[in-house]
Structure 1
């Protein structure tokens, strides 16, 4: 039974959403938004949240209400306003009628007061037309319900319009949803920056059509159009990732009038009649709705020619009495069951385990979504309020920023597959996937060249908690896949261009840089970054993975299996071989041999050193659990040597230097103590036994002093690298990256560490600066980049690392801000 949202609940939702991003039309337009550096794509300052389930096709409406970003194929990013996709509203009051699209720019744009509140995964839009006594509230959201993986992976998003009649007369009101048939729209395998501005409808539409469900099979108040793609035999067939069915579905009270137009041409014809007079076109169907609140309902459909872009529409209308309100509900189900990567391998999306992979149960998904729509919305509101009202000391706007950073969870090229779908080719069966044919999950580092990889190991320590905290199965699967790689040896040689040498793809014991690329064959062809530098030489991958994995298991309360311990132990032994025998710390002697791969770090480094020490503490604890006395003893000896060296060569009396030699020997980086922080969060502080908290606090105070305050008085956030009296450095390795930049992923981690070590004022100042740049000054909302600078430039938008903002929450749930910490 559907229990619909009450007016009181709806009002509560509106209050909650005010903590999110606020857009008041042109009054909030960013006057000088940040611009992209060379090599980065730029979606503009109007980006909004994505609509769609985790690991399903998603799209995004911008802040003005126009559909503008498209990830219909997993990992493929398209930025193009497509005005053929829209929601519209018709009204008739005492003989005077009007119509507008739910957008403040573009065709049939709205005129009046419009406000937008976005709090992941909900966008709420308020409309008050000029000189018309009605109010309209539209909500667009996906069922991304924390803790509910089944709901979260549904290929569904909702549109709900609630209309309030403030007139003394009855109001005739109607809502509609127009949607192009995108089936078959496959992207060229290229990065986002190189993609042309206009991709649709510049592809073949051959075979696209639409069907309706017989009225006898529908309940009163229910209507659906099923967009399809047919073969030359006129049968729908699922062969690629853009095959399937898309349902435009509406449901509601039986006294609503429901209409549909299942097929029309999405573009106009170059003929003598005006667009609205060209039958069976979008303009013709929209004009009919604008006049009457009803679609033409011709009942016609046909199969498109290659150059014939088609669309469909559904609508519902009713009469609203004075002082009353009415809600119009729609759902879009994008039942495209397959994921297909550049290498050709095909996988089934997670929801296929329940609904099959033939796209024959699309209406069943739609009805399930309708039945649970209000319960999903309540669950999302409860979660919102639990975060906004929790013990986290951030003000509401910054907590809202933390929630909104989760845009990347369904907007980050995310995939969640149930199993491999082998496709026989001319040469026989495919080779089985290296990491297994079963369930996998993945999220991109970013969409631009150099970042276009899944599950990058150096960013995962910053990002996993945000996902684990809400959908632990997704995060857990990535840890499992990284574990599977540890024993692998991939001897195939790749050219390492910096050194002009050939090196194997992956050596045994080494955590890979990544688990593959969209354009290649994820979970099979892994360590795709093995090209510019030799990622087998990176010194932070193994210790960062071991420590992060330990923290994940501690927070989840799960014990390591014997098989998992075997893999962790092998990774530990490789980490030992990467360290110097006399100090037990890694020595950086190759350019780019850590996550800071554009910094020429030399010698012993605070960052990799703190991770090494933290991971040794984790290994001691695990060794004791598995009664591996020899390894436990070795780890204790190694920690003693490592701590002694770390303190002796890196502590300068004020902070831990980035490295003990070279260009950055006098510089400070907040992340230099990250390993100690994560170890402390994992309850390993008693094993680490140093540095003292006072030294860690002094280090962070120096970061606040030199990286933050010294850099434009903190306006842009903290630099990654600074020194007393120095905030500008020449670039290393052929480019000016990571120096002279604020990295928001690192900066949010800095905020978390400052709260953990008792520096709330400093933490709050940095959090305020970051929130201002992302959501106000920079126009970077819902596309947080890897970095920005004081010149108003950003690099690598839509990046995984800023999910680290959720470590602030971890501090107050599991760290020193938790009253049960250490219990």
Structure 2
């Protein structure tokens, strides 16, 4: 078992309990009043027509302080696991979450003194209390102080010390999330490996039984389910014995499959049970024999349960192991209210019928040891690096949970086999993930700009696929007019030569992500100043990472098109774009006016990348054009924003224009993430030190990351709600910028405040929020942007390479 990760006892209580019930300050209310009224009218209309809002502000999700490492690969649905043993937070329908806990989804241990003897100890291996109205015959609430949990995504370990039995059980949870492995990483499965150590002087007969029920802990399964065995209890060693549940989840066919590996010393049995009853029959059968009898009288109905039990004799002083798998096979994606169906990416290798689940079960049990070897090889350089802090070794991998549990969707669209061979979507399909568990929009691009650091380093072909989608969408127009909730003005859903905000809402009946884009309706995103620039910057970054010049040739016309639109944002012709005085960028309640540090910095960085991409293609005229524009923009940026110690928020005459913005050097950070060493921006270290001294050290004693806005006098900028928030992903990006500039201690301390707050103080691990308030509240649990922590890893590795080259 590895040394690092998120570590708690099963009876752990977090010291603080925060919630998502945020309220604006009195002086902030006026800015939201009209928006709130329009939103309420729109919300009622959505509810009346059975549509799910892309943001449900009336029912924010409050975390439960229970979560651990989730189950499953990328893009095929996930199941959450609580560190106490719950199966909870099911994301089986693309981008839509069920927060119920499936009570019958458990592991039960039975211990007898001899083979075939009656159990003298039997216990549900979970610290959870008994359900209120079922399974009362089971022994619940394992003593939490006798069990410990360690999570290091995509694996976890739970160690149980059985009281009075001289037995220690360790269950290792393994999901196939492996960098640069696209086949196995797409699979809807996990494996549980049980190591049983007998520390006493008496031989023990031990069985572990895996129980499971239909549905997702909520009433969304079909009225009629059925169970079926697969494999055989009589197979030779190496075979698989399992039970399956066939059902529909929200009208979509799904097969759950539980299986155990047959070995020479392991006997496997299976059965079914009623998960709504008291569970006495199953409990007594295990207690009497340590095994199950296959029955058919409980094989159909609205509520069914299956169980697979593996039994092994463990001699005194020795250790034995059991291997079990869980598969959820939903090969087709059905979007709400439509007839269009698409296949999940993993169906390239596994059958779409029920037998596909059986194949996946065998494959998972055959391959999990190689998965673990690959995971260990990937994580080892970080975990064994003596110069990296221990908390970071947990954070860098555990924040990656979102790549699978962020509503991720990996599909094969019709006609992909007709795409050019150079198009990554032909081979790797289409990838999407949500902005947040509760902001249900796929590939929200202003946010993906930050989180793409993880994707491009670990699964670069998915990043390229996403970019090819965006390039295609840029040229599209959608004339459907909608009323913007903030301004009340009408605007077309999508204008040509603008980068979309998102690629669709999976909860919108009659619409389909990747076909109906820009589900966000608060502002007219075609006028946003950051989206076009962020596309250009990602193209350049991806080029530096992959070295794919074909990618550059494909993206260059789109880069030129979006930059031509962006040039019109320079309203006074001085070479620098201006913000409109309306919310027109990712900080969508924090208004920028005139030249802003944030968008102005993105503009400078985009001009630099355009010049360099033109240079790589020997386009001399374009090189000269963008070089001249860059020189002018750099001068204006300094003249209008530099204060002598930082870049002011914007050039307006407003009271908060002098604000020190944590994200003021976002453009510089992105260039450094693209391995640019040329000094495109001036006064970088001075500005970063000002941010560190004010936004980090003067905020919550330096223990909660970087507040978005701080005034020069050391007061938090309370001009708007977002200015007084700490954005977890922005803090990680800021820390990465510090590492690039040699501010190593400052960078790690800045990021540490986020990890300590989220994982240790308030119990929001594996559902990291977008925003933390100074105290008691957070916003948007389970958010995309914290994946930017992988930019820190890139910065660290870049420093190591530079040090090696110097030697």
TM-score w.r.t. length of structure 2: 0.88
Q: Once the two structures are superposed, what CA deviation does each residue of 1:361-383 show, in whole Å capped at 9, x if it has no partner?
A: 32222111111111111211222
For residue 583 of structure 1, report the CA deviation from its aligned partner: 2.2
Instruction: From the superposition, tell whether residues 570 and 302 of structure 1 become closer, same or farther in structure 2 (CA, over 3 Å).
Output: same
2:292 counterpart residue number: 295
CA-based RMSD of the aligned residues comes to 2.4
SS in structure 2 at match of 1:164: strand
For 1:599-638, list aligned pairs within 5 A: 599-638=590-629
Aligned 8 A contact 2:67 2:81 in 1: yes
2:78 counterpart residue number: 58
Distance in 2, matches of 1:251 and 1:101, equals: 21
Instruction: From the superposition, tell whether residues 412 and 283 of structure 1 become closer, same or farther in structure 2 (CA, over 3 Å).
Output: farther
SS in structure 1 at match of 2:172: strand
Among 322, 325, 337, which residue is 1:328 paired with? 322
Q: Once the two structures are superposed, what CA deviation does each residue of 1:549-598 show, in whole Å capped at 9, x if it has no partner?
A: 21111111111353322122212212212233522222111421011111
2:127 counterpart residue number: 104
Aligned 8 A contact 1:420 1:438 in 2: no
Among 627, 643, 654, which residue is 2:645 paired with? 654
SS in structure 2 at match of 1:63: coil
Q: Once the two structures are superposed, what CA deviation does each residue of 1:457-485 show, in whole Å capped at 9, x if it has no partner?
A: 11112101112222222222111111111
Unmatched segments (≥5 aa) in structure 2: 23-56, 131-139, 417-424
Instruction: From the superposition, tell whether residues 759 and 241 of structure 1 become closer, same or farther in structure 2 (CA, over 3 Å).
Output: farther
Among 523, 528, 549, which residue is 1:538 paired with? 528
SS in structure 1 at match of 2:567: helix
Among 82, 95, 98, which residue is 1:78 paired with? 98
Aligned 8 A contact 2:198 2:316 in 1: yes
Aligned 8 A contact 2:227 2:245 in 1: yes
Q: Which moved more, 1:295-304 or 1:63-72?
A: 295-304
Among 443, 461, 478, which residue is 2:433 paired with? 443
Aligned 8 A contact 1:226 1:247 in 2: yes
Instruction: From the superposition, tell whether residues 204 and 478 of structure 1 become closer, same or farther in structure 2 (CA, over 3 Å).
Output: closer
Q: Does 1:243 align with 2:253?
A: yes
1:431 counterpart residue number: none
SS in structure 2 at match of 1:286: helix
SS in structure 2 at match of 1:573: helix
For 1:253-332, list aligned pairs within 5 A: 253-261=263-271, 263-268=272-277, 275=278, 282-300=279-297, 302-304=299-301, 308-332=302-326
Instruction: From the superposition, tell whether residues 657 and 32 of structure 1 become closer, same or farther in structure 2 (CA, over 3 Å).
Output: same
For residue 143 of structure 1, report the CA deviation from its aligned partner: 1.2
2:440 counterpart residue number: 452
SS in structure 2 at match of 1:458: helix
Q: Does 1:580 align with 2:555?
A: no
1:379 counterpart residue number: 374
Aligned 8 A contact 1:745 1:801 in 2: yes
Distance in 2, matches of 1:575 and 1:667, equals: 25
Q: How many residues align?
A: 744
Aligned 8 A contact 2:504 2:515 in 1: yes
Instruction: From the superposition, tell whether residues 810 and 779 of structure 1 become closer, same or farther in structure 2 (CA, over 3 Å).
Output: same
SS in structure 1 at match of 2:651: strand
For 1:334-373, list aligned pairs within 5 A: 334-344=328-338, 345-373=340-368
1:783 counterpart residue number: 767
1:46 counterpart residue number: 66
1:123 counterpart residue number: 156
SS in structure 2 at match of 1:518: coil
Distance in 2, matches of 1:206 and 1:412, equals: 29
Distance in 1, matches of 2:265 and 2:677, equals: 65
2:6 counterpart residue number: 21
Q: Once the two structures are superposed, what CA deviation does each residue of 1:409-443 show, in whole Å capped at 9, x if it has no partner?
A: 11100001122499xxxxxxxxxxxx999921001
Instruction: From the superposition, tell whether residues 592 and 396 of structure 1 become closer, same or farther in structure 2 (CA, over 3 Å).
Output: same
2:482 counterpart residue number: 494
2:751 counterpart residue number: 767
Q: Which moved more, 1:573-582 or 1:350-359?
A: 573-582
Among 641, 656, 660, which residue is 1:668 paired with? 660
Distance in 1, matches of 2:375 and 2:633, equals: 46
Instruction: From the superposition, tell whether residues 680 and 647 of structure 1 become closer, same or farther in structure 2 (CA, over 3 Å).
Output: same
Distance in 2, matches of 1:579 and 1:797, equals: 37
Distance in 1, matches of 2:656 and 2:777, equals: 24
2:229 counterpart residue number: 212
SS in structure 1 at match of 2:305: strand
Distance in 2, matches of 1:20 and 1:57, equals: 24
Unmatched segments (≥5 aa) in structure 1: 1-13, 186-198, 231-237, 269-274, 276-281, 423-434
Q: Which moved more, 1:459-468 or 1:575-584?
A: 575-584
SS in structure 2 at match of 1:406: helix
